[in-house]
Amino acid sequence: MKLIAKIIIIVTIFAAGFYIGQQALAPANGSKVVGEENSEQITVSLMFDFGDGEVRTFNDVVLSKNATMLELLEKVTTDNDLEFRITDYGGGLGALIESINNYSSDARNNRYWHFWVNNVYSDIGASNYILENSDVVEWKYTLNQFNLIVN
């Protein structure tokens, strides 16, 4: 009987020690442990090429997972006090970028905003393009990529 009591006491002490040790190692405020990756966020880089030699870069922009290209533009332009206008056509058409930092779509000179992700021209609109971690995004104010004649 004494042996069983000793075993129960030892197991109880061991379990209590294990529990207290786990609590001591856990962050007090629920924040993540150093080195622990937050899978709910992504980090991307963004570059604006204004077509006249001016280039602005924004590295390590943190967004929520499944953020769209449009959300990236809204965050960077708001955080950096850059003018930004869109026309949202809704549905499958999505948003047309009208102006960034006062560089506006110009049908007369056939200049518009276009974007590339990881050096690949996008065939998806900004409001529908889902960003991935470590994407490198380039927005260029340049001639229409399709050489369409606009009257």
Identify the sign of the CA torsion 128, 91, 48, 41.
Answer: negative
Q: What pLDDT score does 150 carry? A: 45
| Predicted local distance difference test score (pLDDT) of residue 17 | 60
Domain ranges in the chain? 41-143
CATH of domain 41-143: 2.170.130.30
pTM summary value: 0.70
Weakly modelled stretches of the chain, pLDDT under 50 = 29-36, 148-151
The rounded distance, in Å, linking the Cα atoms of 138 and 95 is 17
